Amino acid sequence: MVKIARWNYDGGIQEGFVDDGTCFALSGGRTVNTLLAAGLEETLAIAAETLRSQRPVAFRDVELLAPLTPATIRDFVAFEEHVEGVRKSIDGVAGVVPEWYEAPTFYFTNPHTVTGTREVIGIPAGCHELDFETEVAAVVGHVPGSDGRNLSSTDAHRHIFGYTILNDWSARDLQRREMKVSLGPCKGKDFANTLGPWIVTADEFGHLHDDEGFLPVTMEVEVNGEPIGRDLLSNMGWPFAELVAYASQDSVVRPGDVLGSGTCGRGCLAELWGRNGSRTPPPLQTGDVVRMTVEGIGWIENTVGQRRNAETRVGARPRKLETR
């Protein structure tokens, strides 16, 4: 299995491959983004050469970072069960809007606040309902002869370089307010996203795809060791190839782009709040530990830190009606 990662070691950042409990750094100034720009086939050859030639470092001696520096992050909402529960929690309304079934929906989130496994995630100012979102993300790589525009789902599948776990952290009370303006989410989301622990190359999942291109791998999340939710990635409304293809329509996907699946069923607290009719389980608090595990990839784990004490909202100025 080819695992692509970034890590701190001996006072500096290294990028390369993790294999059998050891890390092998890329040589010649190459980075993970270099591999994405090279494409999957060339990366597999580079991996074989790197494992043969580079001095290994014990995995226990490194500190993992987010496995790439994303160019963009598109986050979809592809699980019907999640949409149903969160709508009840956020809007107080049951069911799924008909428009969800018509086409995949996504928003762009902040690539500059990406974190890695084991990092502490502070509670943003004004937030009292911190939540997690259990997702898998596809990472886009180069395909020779393609500019990443207006892709068919078949061509889009070739652009999927690999997969990683995504935790789309959410400040639900901030999100609830801003989405009443029918735009967003914005500040309810842009303070942190966790990616990791590494990118597993897409060829490792080739034998798992069903006839429609879905991946039936398990996704689980627990808080402080207590199971919260479990689902299959194949319960998405669209396979990843169709998400990539949709993102490319009248637009472009490029190496280093990250596309999240959206939260799996029972993969966050807000969905359970909607189903239970109360804040049960409770919002995350300082010291809570969130672990997400995805079959075939691994796990990421983060501890919740302190809340930042600040007032960030700025009210609108009263409108002045001018007459001439």
pLDDT value at residue 139: 98
Q: Where, residue-wise, is CATH 3.90.850.10 in the chain?
A: 73-307
Q: What is the pLDDT of residues 233-258, one digit of tens each?
A: 999 999 999 999 999 999 999 999 99
- Residue 183 pLDDT: 81
300-316 pLDDT, tens digit per residue, is 999 999 999 999 999 99
**What pLDDT does residue 324 have?**
66
Three-state secondary structure of the chain:
CCEEEEEEECCEEEEEEEECCEEEECCCCCCHHHHHHHCHHHHHHHHHHHHHHCCCEEHHHCEECCCCCCCCEEEECCCHHHHHHHHHHHHCCCCCCHHHHCCCCEEEECHHHEECCCCEEEECCCCCCEECCEEEEEEECCCCCCCCCCCCHHHHHHHEEEEEEEECCEEHHHHHHHHCCCCCCCCCCCCCEEEEEEEEEHHHHHHHCCCCCCCCCEEEEEECCEEEEEEEHHHCCCCHHHHHHHHHCCCCCCCCCEEECCCCCCCCHHHHHHHHCCCCCCCECCCCEEEEEECCCEEEEEEEEEECCCCCCCCCCCCCCCCC
Of the options 3.20.20.70, 3.40.50.300, 3.90.850.10, 3.30.450.20, the CATH number for the domain spanning 73-307: 3.90.850.10
Q: What is the mean pLDDT of the chain?
A: 95
What average pLDDT score do residues 156-165 get? Answer: 98
What is the average pLDDT across 263-288?
Answer: 96
Quick check: 19 pLDDT over 70?
A: yes
Which has more confidence, 94 or 81?
81
Does the pLDDT at position 79 exceed 90? yes
Q: What is the pLDDT of residue 91?
A: 74
- Determine what percent of the chain is predicted with pLDDT higher than 90: 88
Query: Would you give the distance in Å from CA 141 to the centre of its chain?
Result: 16
Mean pLDDT, range 183-193, rounded to an integer: 92
Look-up of token digits 């010291």: 287
Percent of the chain predicted with pLDDT > 70: 100
Give yes or no for residue 198 having a pLDDT over 70. yes
Whether 92 has a pLDDT exceeding 80, the answer reads no
Mean pLDDT of 50-61: 97
* pLDDT for residue 93: 80
pLDDT at residue 73 greater than cutoff 70: yes
